[in-house]
Chains A and B, each alone.
Chain A
Amino acid sequence: MLTVEHITKQYGNFTALEDISLQFSAGVYGLLAPNGAGKTTLIKMLTTLLFPTSGQILWEGEDIHALDEEYRGLLGYLPQEFGYYPGYTPRQFLHYAAALQCIPKKEAHRRISELLKLVGLSDAEHKKMRQLSGGMRQRVGIAQAMLNDPRLLILDEPTAGLDPRERVRFRNLIHSLAEDRIVILSTHIVSDIETIAGQIVMLRDHKLFCCDSPAGICGKMKGRVFEVPAGTALEENQFLLSERQGEQGTVLRIFCDTPPRGAGPVTPGLEDAFLAIYREGQV
């Protein structure tokens, strides 16, 4: 179990994260917040790349910095910008990553073949990394993060650069991997985690806003999301979430506490909740 205990991260006078406490057990956790809310800072602290200014992060009750390589050995990490050497093939690159994770050669060979198949890169394993598309390179990154069969898998904006088909494939992959491990997936794209995350962690104003199931978060929005025809003048306390094409043309999806005249409540989705929580000016 991974425990985050009252961590705060400050850069000089700027507080990037304040008093965050969380507990992670096996399952998928979606770290959902707009850009600049502190997601990457939290991820970097979970991966030992940053020290918290105060508080501590514990793995099975022990400080992750004290565990050091033992902790890194059970961690799989895909950074927001996955670095690679362009002159190598995915297989060569993964062999390098396996050596860095101290995986024996034979085991690495077997594992790499399995993972290349899993991420759909068996046909491209001998192409140079520079010849691969952004999505394919991202899949190499996911394979790299999975090499040591990690008990804790942390993915920072993993679907950036993936096309819709690849996104679906990625979601299925993560879902299948999460049975016996902790998967923390940081994103600002709601659809990436709506269907696969058991818990959503939301940050606002650099503090923990909530950690709840998608159903729980949507439940809090129940009776507060409405659809009105396009062109309807919005009142001061009504907040426009989105537009969509309804049967009778364009409709506006709005968030407010009291139902607007002539509008019926609709079932709120996670995206509605996200847009309502992070209204303009809220980070």
Chain B
Amino acid sequence: MNEKIPMPTGAERQAAIRRIVELSGAKQRAKRRSVPLSVVFFGVEDCLFLTVLAALLCLIPGAAVARSALLAPLLFLFSPALYAALYLLTAWKDAVSGIGEWRRTCRLSSWTLLALRMLVFGGLAVALCVSANILLWLASGRSWSLAWMLGLSFSSLFLYAALTLFCLKFRRGMVFPPVAWGLAGLVLAACGWSEELLLRVPVLVFFILATAGLAYCVLTLERMLRYPDRGGRFYAYS
């Protein structure tokens, strides 16, 4: 019992440290796996297609209001519409098909899948926002500032996306962001002074808000992808 345990030599200690670092690196590398888009959107392709189609079709009546005073509140209201519709429709389809339960028991974290979906939804929403704003700008006879329109659109989109991710992270419900945005948009549309108010906001302020929203989204999604392990602790029901 009194026998002394020999301490490791310097070389042994270095070898042990190297091994531990190697193992942790291998674990990290194993977790960084590629997930094809066909897997990310398996079963919900129809939601993706229909929502994008509906959004594109909405641009036709949208062009009619390009010159009206309602443009500003409608831009605020509809800029996150594609993002919101994609997220809600895919979540609804997953819930209806009952796929969620066994998918949460699979090796690939649901957290990772959700983050990848949100990234694609964000990309599609940005592409639609840019094209829709250019179209409306042209349809209005360039009577608005394109930078202002893009600023308003992006700030609305990214703040909405940030609110959605915040609610997702802290389990505040999926319905709260669209309801809150819908109500705010309707109030703005109903008030005669909303256009004037939104026009007075400097473009820089819109872009600062958009950048803040985007930064929150990027950081949250990056964490979701970097720490898929948190999925287990996160998505268990209670």
Assembly CA distance A65 to B236 (angstroms): 10
> Which of B76-84, B93-101, B136-144, B216-224 makes up part of the contact surface?
B93-101
B24 at interface by CB-CB < 8 Å: no
State the CA gap A59–B43 with chains docked (Å): 33
User: C-beta contact mask, A35-54 vs B, less than 8 Å → 1, else 0?
Assistant: 00000000010011111000
* Interface of B: prevailing SS: loop
Contact A68 B231, CB 8 Å, known A50-B237, A85-B42: yes
Quick check: A100 and B236 within 8 Å, CB to CB?
no
State the interface size on chain B (CB cutoff 8 A): 29
B237 touches A69 (CB 8 A): no
Q: Are A100 and B98 in contact (CB under 8 A)?
A: no
Smallest CB gap from B27: residue in A = A70
With contacts defined as CB atoms under 8 Å apart, how many contacts are there between chain A and chain B in the complex? Answer: 90
Partner pick for A99 among B36, B101, B109, B238, CB 8 A cutoff? B36
CB-based nearest B residue for A69: B107
Q: How close is B235's CB to chain A, nearest CB, in angstroms? A: 8
Q: Does A179 contact B (CB under 8 A)?
A: no
Which one, A65, A82, A84, A148, contacts B107 given CB within 8 A?
A: A148
The answer to whether A85 and B107 have CB atoms under 8 Å apart is: no
Cβ of A6 under 8 Å from chain B: no
- B193-210, CB under 8 A of A: which get 1 and which 0? 000000000000000000
| Alpha-carbon distance A27/B103, docked complex (angstroms) | 25
Q: Which residue of A lies closest to B109 (CB)?
A: A69
Q: Is the CB of A83 within 8 A of B100?
A: yes
Q: Assuming the A-B contacts A49-B101, A100-B108, are A85 and B236 also in contact, with contact meaning beta carbons closer than 8 angstroms in the complex?
A: no
Closest 3 CB pairs of A and B: A83-B98, A85-B43, A100-B106
Q: A49-B236, A69-B107, A79-B98 are in contact. List 13 more A-B contacts (CB 8 A).
A: A47-B105, A49-B237, A68-B109, A69-B108, A72-B105, A77-B102, A82-B98, A83-B99, A83-B102, A85-B97, A85-B99, A87-B46, A99-B39
Binding site for A on B (CB under 8 A): 31, 33, 35-36, 39, 42-43, 46, 97-109, 228-229, 231-233, 236-238
Interface residues of A (CB under 8 A from B): 11, 44, 47-51, 65, 68-69, 72-73, 75, 77-79, 81-88, 96-97, 99-102, 141, 144-145, 148
